[in-house]
Structures are given as structure tokens and as C-alpha cells.
Structure 1
């Protein structure tokens, strides 16, 4: 059995993430969507909220499991016995970052491969920060996220009110 790890902050999960994970599930026996708990960036949703949103997005995909994690991704990959780390590439600038990360992970664990999947054309502009910013400015994100994520974004924006300026959430 080949287990793949698809790590990320997923703040929030969007259709680009869902596309990459669904395609990875066609290639691998099991895909673990791993929601990182403490990235070095400001987030809109708590780890538990993000795990819940990702879980709901994949509730009908038996080959895709969702969990949270801390620490080095490569250590978590070893812990769950993943042979592959899946990453998505949208634009050329993603390649440079992902290439460096893959090389670092290869140095730490030569037995774990990194596989990069090219995003579907309609998702090339999507990023979680773009989705958050549009939602914070009361824009329509229904073509970018599942309905349950749209509802969660709307509720979060209402709860935040005027307490935080929109650019405080940028990656």
C-alpha cells in the first residue's frame, strides 16, 4: 500500500486543494490530508476549525483521511509511514519554493519521495490568502470553495467585525 501525505495549513481549504487531493487519491492507495497547526503566518481559522472544514470537504472520499500535525512534515510522514509527500504547483514561483522544500526533505529522508501535481487550469489563481481576502471584503467566493467553507468564512468575517483590518490576514 502506498500512503501519500498532503500537508498544508488549508486556511481555508479551497477547490484547488480538493482537486490536488482527489487526483492524488487516483494515484495512491491512501492520501492523508495533514493540517499543520502552527505555521509562521497569521491564520483565520483555528487548527480544529481547519481540520473540520477539510474533513467535511472529503467526507465522501474513502481514500482520503484528515488529521492534524505539528513539527517537521518529514517527521510526521515517517510517523504515519507515508512513502510520498504530495504538493500542488499553481504558478512558476511555486516551483522554486517547492523545489527547495523537496530537496531539504530529501536530505532529511531519502526514502520519502515528493510528488508535485500541476493544478487544474481553472484553479491557478487560487490561494487561501486570496480566498480569505475576497471573503473579508464581502466578495463572492462560491466558485472557489465548497458551500460549507463559504458559510464558515461568512460566519468568521461577521464575528471578526471591525476588530481586524483586512490586510492583517495576508500570508
Structure 2
């Protein structure tokens, strides 16, 4: 009976991770969507998409590692399911990895150097150009027209090191999701 309670807790936590992934994807695609929304009196006008795109994948990875630990330590036994149910669970287990791929796409194709229009910037330089990462890092500009104060507070990024790390993250999150799916 206690195992069922732990499984329910795992499902709830996994649902929260998936909801966070969806929220990160929405914010990265439409950064000004929350300008008019307030939650409990708190205005979300200063959500910086740079932090979401650069730090968000790491937050997802940490959440998935925690869920994997929780599943193996407290749930312990896998569940038998039909083939269709297994296919649906695999798809659900891979949602965080899909979100990571989307955030990588946003990072690579929706950022540019200051003063260079997005369509003129060679986005693949993020994978190869060590000159972009000075000692202080590269401060990207987001292509979706952020407010000037948001553009100024974009986090620093260190291509190509961090770009390649962001390429590896979906694989790690996907592997964790596949391991977790046995317990969902």
C-alpha cells in the first residue's frame, strides 16, 4: 500500500516536471505572453527568456535526476502494462527530453550577437566559434524583441562549450525518462 502512495507521489512530481517543461517552452517562444498576467497579485512582467533558455534545461535535468532517485529508492517495483499503455508511457517519459530539444533550438536559432539581425547571424558559430566566449562570456540578444531592460539582463553564455553541453542534455534527460517510465 505504501508503494502505491509513493507511485502516486512520483506521478505528481513527474507531472510537475512536465508542466514546467511546457511552461519553459511557452515562455521561450513567446516571452511577452506573461506581461499582462498576474498570479496572486504578482506580475510576471520581468520573466527573462534568456534565463529560461540557458538555465532551464539544467533545471529540468536536476528534476529528472531527482525523480529517478525517488523512483528507484522509494517506488522500487515496475508496473506491468499493455503494449499501448507502454507506448503512451514512453511518449510521456520523453516529453522532458523533447522540451530540452526545443529549448536547444531556441538557444541556437533565436539568439544573435548585439547589433546583428537574426537572419544575418551564423547560428552554427555557437557550435564552433571560441571567439564568442570571452572571459566574461557571450551575452546573446534574443530575436523575439525583448524589452531593452530584459535584453540587458540576459545571462552570459559560453559557446561552444555550453552549446555542446546543451546538445548532450536531452540525451541525459531522455535516458532518465526511460528509466523512470518503468515506475510510472
Q: What's the TM-score, normalizing by structure 1?
A: 0.26
Q: What's the TM-score, normalizing by structure 2?
A: 0.25
Structure 1 or 2: larger strand share? 1
Structure 1 or 2: larger helix share? 2
From the CA coordinates, give the structure whose radius of gyration is larger.
Answer: 2
